[in-house]
Amino acid sequence: MQHIEEQDDPRVIVDRLMGQTCPFCDDRRLESEKHKGSQAVVCEGCGTPIVQL
């Protein structure tokens, strides 16, 4: 899990996480997704939300 600075622009956070590998699946990548109206980054494999903005 990465430390997220609260003052960071959400788009910067998403950009930083996109394309990185899931810490739980190891070989699956993260993708951005709208979750209940807010932006989230989830694993494409296990669906674990890595960060919700």
The size of the interface with Zn ion (CB under 5 A), counted in residues, is 7
Per-residue x/- mask for Zn ion, residues 13 to 52, rule CB under 5 A? ---------x-xx--x--------------x-xx------
As to burial, measured by CB atoms within 10 angstroms (0-12 exposed, 13-18 middle, 19+ buried), residue 50 is: buried
Which residue, 9 or 32, is less far from Zn ion as judged by CB? 32
Which residue, 4 or 25, is less far from Zn ion as judged by CB? 25
12: closest CA among 42, 34, 36, 32?
32
